[in-house]
Each structure stands twice: as structure tokens, then as C-alpha cells.
Structure 1
């Protein structure tokens, strides 16, 4: 987008609102093209925010869906060259891997962004995820949430057989 575009507005807040509306209305077949177009905006931070908001909403919808891998591959092509959006998509994929109880590397979670660690500590019910974050979460808040949720999960676990 540029000043040559008839829909161009110099106010990034107006453009951001337009991008949000466009992402709300875009169909799956046209999402990659819209992402590519939005990422040409000269305000990279604002463009990243709009794209990552869409990626987050769509990834959450597809998180356990068998269509996630093909969607992710298509989005990876659209965001190629945009490190921030690529990292967020990678983190959604790690979250999916943990959610689906597939093999994952604890180091990937430990080195993930605060956003992913906080999201996982608040939403995951996997004790392995909570154990890693309780021990090695980046912030005190993340570690405390994970410890609290881990403790609650351990208390609610059924007792073993009576002896």
C-alpha cells in the first residue's frame, strides 16, 4: 500500500482499522494475498499487528483441526521475509504440537516469547508443559500461573488403586 493506492490514508490508525475489517471479511482462499498486501504497508509495526491478529484468530480456530498444517504452509509463504509474523506462526505451531500431545522440545518452549509462554501457562492442561513453565518460564507471572495450574491439575488427578 502506498500513496498511489486510492484507499491510502496517511493515518495508520485508519489503515489498521481497514485491515482488521478486511481480515474479518476475507475468505480462506484470499487470506494469503491479503496478508502479502498488508505487509507492504510502510508502517511495519502496524502491519505486523494486523497480520498477527489475523494469524492468531485463525490459528486458534484451526488449532486442533486436521487442516492446520496446510493452512500453516500457505501462511508461511505469505509471510516469508517478515520475521515477526513468521515467529508468531512458528509459536502457534509449537502450541498446536503441545496441544495435540505430539513430540516437542522443552527448549523450544523455554526460548519462546513471553506471549507463547503466557498463553501456554494459562491455557494448556498438559502437565509436561506446565512443569517446564513452572520451572523455566521467563517471568515470575508465567512461572506462578504454571505452578498454580500444575498444582490444581495434580490435586484433581484420580488417586491410584487402593492397597
Structure 2
């Protein structure tokens, strides 16, 4: 009797790697179709993880680009009611609003996820004194408060 090889990768790991490769090079015209196809994978958590990685990369690339709103609408349509992905897209949109000095509220920032607060406190693209002061005073974690405080004190120097 032979035992299964314990060092073999589950099939979803291979699909995940393939999805990431495809999402990295997908032409903009085909992005919506590929995102939708990935999200139809039988392993929902793996599919959402792959789409989140893609979304992180694309949102960072497009954050201050005029195409971001169209891209965000396309993503919202494709991710549907998947709570984690919709929340993360909403937070990327909030980061954009702060970066471009568009309207945002203190409640949006203070109630946002730890990921958002860490990203906003450390992101060089965020230079809003109001947002940084808010995070320095009301950030959920000491790490966020400290990073934002350093940025407020030295707004034109890179944070470490």
C-alpha cells in the first residue's frame, strides 16, 4: 500500500500561481473577464486571495490616475457582494480621496481596517495633514499613531 505524497501541492495552489501570472499580464481590455473567471473558481477563498493581490497591485498603480474610478467600477461589478474584496476596494477609494484632497470623513478613516490605517500612515502619497493628524491621535494601533506622528513632524522626509 502506498501513502499519498505529503509534499505534493494541492491543486488550488497551482491554480493560484497561474491566476497571479495571468492577472499580472492581462491587457486592460480583458481584465474584467479574467477577474470574473478567477472568481468563479471552485475554491472561493483562493480565488478571492488572487483577485485581492491583483487589486492591490492595480489600485496602487492607478491610485492617482484618472482611470481609477472606471477601474474601481469595473472591479466592484465583478467582485459583487464579496465582503472582504468590496471593503478593500472601498478603502483603496478612500486612500485615493485623501491622496487627491477629495472629500472624506474622519469616521471613514477611524473606522477603516488596520490595513488601511497602516497603509495611510506610511504611504508617501498621503500627505494630508488632516488625515495624518487624525491617525496620529486616533489610529487604532500604536504603530499607526507613531508612523503618522513622525509624518506630521517631518512631512517632507521619507518615513522609515
User: Normalised by the size of structure 2, how large is the TM-score?
Assistant: 0.86
Deviation of 1:96 after TM superposition, in Å, equals 0.4
Tell me, what secondary structure is at the counterpart of 2:155? helix
The aligned counterpart of 2:5 is: none
The list of structure 1 runs, each at least 4 consecutive aligned residues, that deviate by more than 4 angstroms after superposition, is: none
5+ long unaligned stretches in structure 1: 1-8, 156-163
Alignment of 1:1-163 (within 5 A): 10-123=10-123, 124-153=126-155
For 2:10 and 2:143, the matched residues in 1 are separated by: 39
For 1:147 and 1:56, the matched residues in 2 are separated by: 25
The aligned counterpart of 1:159 is: none
Deviation of 1:147 after TM superposition, in Å, equals 1.0
For 1:139 and 1:49, the matched residues in 2 are separated by: 25
For 2:146 and 2:11, the matched residues in 1 are separated by: 40
5+ long unaligned stretches in structure 2: 1-8
Tell me, what secondary structure is at the counterpart of 1:65? coil
Deviation of 1:14 after TM superposition, in Å, equals 0.9
Tell me, what secondary structure is at the counterpart of 2:154? helix
In 2 relative to 1, CA 134–12 (structure 1 residues): closer, same or farther, beyond 3 Å?
Answer: same
Tell me, what secondary structure is at the counterpart of 1:81? coil
RMSD over aligned CA atoms reads 1.7
Deviation of 1:75 after TM superposition, in Å, equals 1.1
- Per-residue CA deviation, residues 46-99 of structure 1 (Å, 9 max, x unaligned), is 222110111111111111111111111111101112111111111110000000
- Per-residue CA deviation, residues 81-140 of structure 1 (Å, 9 max, x unaligned), is 211111111111000000000111110011111111101000122111111111111111
For 1:47 and 1:121, the matched residues in 2 are separated by: 29
